[in-house]
Structure formats: structure tokens, C-alpha cells
Amino acid sequence: MSAKKKLDSKSFSNQKRNRRKMLTFARVIRYGIDSFIRNSWLSVAATAVMTITLLIIFTAFVTQNILTDTIGNLRDKVDMSIYLKTDTTNEVGNQLKSELLKLSSVKSVTYCSAECARTQFAKDNSTDASALAALNEATNKNPAALRVVVRDINDTSQLQKFVDTNTLLKDRLNPDYKPSFAGERRNTIQSIGRAVNFAQTVGLIAGFIFVIISALIIFNTIRMAIFNRKEEIQMMKLIGADQSFIRGPFLVEAIIYGFIAAFVATGIGLWALYGSAKTLLSYEINAQPTINLVTLYLAVVLLSMIFIGAVIGIISSTLATRRYLKP
């Protein structure tokens, strides 16, 4: 009986402790919500700054995706041609194509025979009667070509080695036309590659800097709110409240900032993204894949924004309250 009484007493004590924890937790949430409502002007300021922060994060993510897709399109358009003799057969051309595709730096290869080149020339000059007349009268001397798209337009070393060492290719190379990556187009291709890499780097650095600046602003805003209530904090410490109970309402406030800001920032970001789609397209900026991605995973995007906002708020609030919770 004595052991049973001790077990019942321990169970009752645990239940009482759990109820006390739940009651404390409910009070912390209530005090946090009350404080958010009571200090409305600070709440609006903090939420606005948090919204700017999350909007910058959203914009950085979207911009990086759009830039990546646009770069992909640009890369695919910048093909590097290896010109072959006019009499190169389709069998030889396709064999060379297969060997090129084995290179790790090559994304795709298209073989265009001399007849294909002639047809393409006629299509490109369909409005020029004199050019078409000359084409019909002249013997087809257009070179066949292997049009190669590489994964990194700044790195053509593997392609150059293939041109220099492949026996079959060396026998079929057209002596009158140098490969485009080794001829006049080389500087143009390298300039495009440098511009693309520079744009990516600048986008990442700018996004990181703006996020840090915004996080610092949020930290100072929350710290100002805590400073205005320092007497209240001191009073709570004097009556024996523990640090978690004092810090709790500020954490709840910060989470509320992040929660509201996530919805507002996501809404503004989507509105700007959809609204700018046509304008971006007119500048040949490929935004549609990013729009499709965000639309498909909208719930994930929103939850991610809420999570990021909550984390920023919690970290900022914890750092800001540390000074006032020292023994």
C-alpha cells in the first residue's frame, strides 16, 4: 500500500506539474498577443520591417531562379560550330556527333549537312531575291557543321582537345572555316560567359547584403520594444519570474511579426512576379518557369516564408532580451 500511495502521489505530482506548464505556456502566449496589440505602433513597425526582409528573401530566390533559367536559354543559343567539308556524309557526321556527346562538357550536338546548311541559308534570306537567285545557280559549297552546346561557355578546353586529337574529325575538318570557338566568335562567347557569371555573383551578394541589413533593422526594432518595457522586465525579475517566462512573450511577438509578414511579403512578391512577367519577356528574360514553380509549390513557399520569419524573429528577440535577463 505504501508503494502504491507513493506511485499515486508521484503521478498526481506529474499531472500537477504538466498542468502548471500548460498554464504557463498559455499565459506566455496570451501576454505575447496582448503585448502585440497593446504596442500597436511598434508592432506595425516591426511587422513592416519583417515584411521587407522576407520580401527581399523572396525576391532574391525568384531573381536567382529567373537568372538561372535565362542563362540556360542563353547558353543553349550560343552554339559552337565545327565546320566540316561539304562532301561529309551523314554517316560520318552522326558518328562524330556520337563521339562529341561522350564529352562531359558537352550538353548537346546537332549535325547539319551541307544540304541542311543550304536550306537554312535559303530560309534566312527568304526575302532577298538576289541571294536566292545566286543560291539556285551556284554549286552547293556550304560546309557541313557540328553545332555544339557546352555546359560552361567559358570552358572549351575539352572541345579544343577533341578537335586537335580526333583522327576522324581532323580528316573531315574544312580548311576554309575555323571552329567558331577558336575563331572570331571566341571573344564574343567568352564575353557572354563572363557577363553571365558576373550577374550571378552580383545577384547572390546583393541578396545576402540586403537580408543582413534587414535582419539588423528587425533586431533594433525588437530591442527598442524591449527597452520601452525594461521596467516591466525588472519588476518580473524581482518577483521571481524565470527567464523563459520573461522572454516568452517577446518570442511570441516576434513569431507573430514573422507570421503576418510572411503572408504580406508572399502576396506582394507574387503580385510583382505575375505583373512583371510580360515586361520581362519583352526583354527576353525567361520568368515563366519560375512562375510555374512558385505557383505549383505555393504552399511550400508560404510555409518556408513563415518559418524564415519566425526564425529571424526568435533569434533577434533572443539576442535583444539577453542584456535585460542577466542576473
Does a structural domain hold residue 55? yes
pLDDT at 1: 47
Same domain, 96 and 133: yes
Per-residue pLDDT tens digits of the chain, which is 327 residues long: 455 555 455 565 666 666 776 776 677 677 777 777 776 777 787 788 788 888 888 887 887 777 777 766 666 666 678 888 888 888 888 888 888 888 888 888 888 887 887 777 667 666 666 655 555 655 567 788 888 888 777 677 888 888 888 888 888 888 887 777 654 555 655 666 666 667 667 767 766 776 677 667 767 766 776 676 667 667 766 666 666 677 777 778 778 888 888 999 999 999 988 888 888 777 767 788 888 888 888 899 899 888 888 887 777 777 776 766 665
- The region that residue 159 occupies, defined by phi over 0 for left and psi between -120 and 50 for alpha, beta otherwise, is alpha
Task: Please give the Cα distance from 82 to 77 (Å, whole number).
Answer: 15
The verdict on 254 and 272 lying in the same domain is yes
User: Would you say residue 18 lies in a domain?
Assistant: no
Rounded distance, CA 245 to CA 189, Å?
Answer: 62
For position 268, what pLDDT does the model report? Answer: 92
SS3 for the chain, per residue? CHHHHHHHHHHHHHHHHHHHHHHHHHHHHHHHHHHHHHCHHHHHHHHHHHHHHHHHHHHHHHHHHHHHHHHHHHHHHCCEEEEECCCCCHHHHHHHHHHHHCCCCEEEEEEECHHHHHHHHHHHCCCCHHHHHHHHHCCCCCCEEEEEEECCCCCCHHHHHHHHHCHHHHHHECCCCCCCCCCCHHHHHHHHHHHHHHHHHHHHHHHHHHHHHHHHHHHHHHHHHHHCCHHHHHHHHHCCCCHHHHHHHHHHHHHHHHHHHHHHHHHHHHHHHHHHHHHHHHCCCCCHHHHHHHHHCHHHHHHHHHHHHHHHHHHHHHHHHHHHHCC
At residue 16, the pLDDT reads: 64
- The whole-angstrom separation of Cα 126 and Cα 143 is 20
Total structural domains within the chain = 2
Check residue 264 and give its pLDDT. 92
Query: Is 220 part of any domain?
Result: yes
Residue type, position 96, single letter:
L
Question: Rounded to two decimals, what is the model's pTM?
Answer: 0.62
Residues 218 and 106 both lie in one domain: no
Asked if 86 and 59 sit in the same domain, the reply is no
Residues 66 and 87 in one domain: no
- Do 175 and 204 share a domain, yes or no? no
Task: Give the per-residue pLDDT at 267.
Answer: 92
Nearest residue to 291 (alpha-carbon basis) of 269, 260, 262: 269
Please check whether residues 211 and 299 belong to one and the same domain. yes
Q: Are residues 100 and 175 in the same domain?
A: yes
C-alpha cell at 122: 535559303
Has residue 14 been placed in a domain? no
Domain range for residue 59?
30-73+195-325
